[in-house]
Structure 1
Amino acid sequence: MRIQSNPMVLVSADLLVQLMKRTGDGREVSVRELADAAGCHPSKVDALRNGRRRNSSHDEALAIARRLGVDLLVLWQHSGRTVEAPVEPPQMVAVPA
């Protein structure tokens, strides 16, 4: 299994199905068309639609949202930090005099 740096989590499979039936331009989009737009295999989109899968890469999630005509965070949420955690400076060590 490939580790994703910042996977996105689908908010609702039902919402994805509804948005596929009526996209931002008013037309229906098929699983294959959505997969082509996202650059992934149609089985991945089908698994998202059926609730068997909830995670996707940020790039795929963004492409799916754009094809459906919605903002990214309407359909997806971040699964972790959106920015890298700050690095703590090393602690100073007391040296006996």
Structure 2
Amino acid sequence: MEPAKHRFLLVNPDRLRMLMARTGTGSAITLRALASEVGVPHGTIDHLLSGEVRTQPAEVAYAISRVLGVDPLVLWAPTGRSIPADGPTPALAGTP
């Protein structure tokens, strides 16, 4: 039996939007360009920004963070016993 893949919860869609407006290089990146760099359909990024989708596999979460030039924990919280992958989003320290 294969273990479940580790998923990460997007802490705040507005933070993702803000970081897309000014990446680690100081320039903006579009939704489609981010999706292309990460290697996911553009709908994945769109759903994250709208809040329709809240979690991603670890490799996607890390890739998004890398492209934006931030530490993964700026955008993502690892899911597990204290942070479920589904259900209501728990109050996370430092989130508005």
TM-score of the superposition, structure 1-length normalised? 0.77
Q: Name 2:39's counterpart in structure 1.
A: 39
User: What stretches of structure 2 of length at least 5 have no aligned partner?
Assistant: 82-96
- Root mean square deviation of aligned Cα: 1.5
The 8 Å contact of residues 8 and 79 in structure 1, kept in 2 or not, is answered as: yes
Identity %: 41
Q: Residues 42 and 68 of structure 1: is their aligned pair in 2 closer, same or farther, counting only changes over 3 Å? A: same
CA distance in 2, matches of 1:73, 1:51: 18
List, as ranges, runs of 4+ consecutive aligned residues in structure 1 with deviation greater than 4 Å.
Answer: none
CA distance in 2, matches of 1:17, 1:38: 16
Q: Residues 4 and 38 of structure 1: is their aligned pair in 2 closer, same or farther, counting only changes over 3 Å? A: farther
Q: Deviations over 1:59-79 (max 9, x none)?
A: 000000011010011100101
The 5 A counterparts of 1:47-86 are: 47-80=47-80
Structure 2 residue 14 is matched with structure 1 residue 14? yes
SS class of match (1:9): strand
Q: Name 2:91's counterpart in structure 1.
A: none
SS class of match (1:49): helix
Larger Rg: 1
The 8 Å contact of residues 35 and 41 in structure 1, kept in 2 or not, is answered as: yes
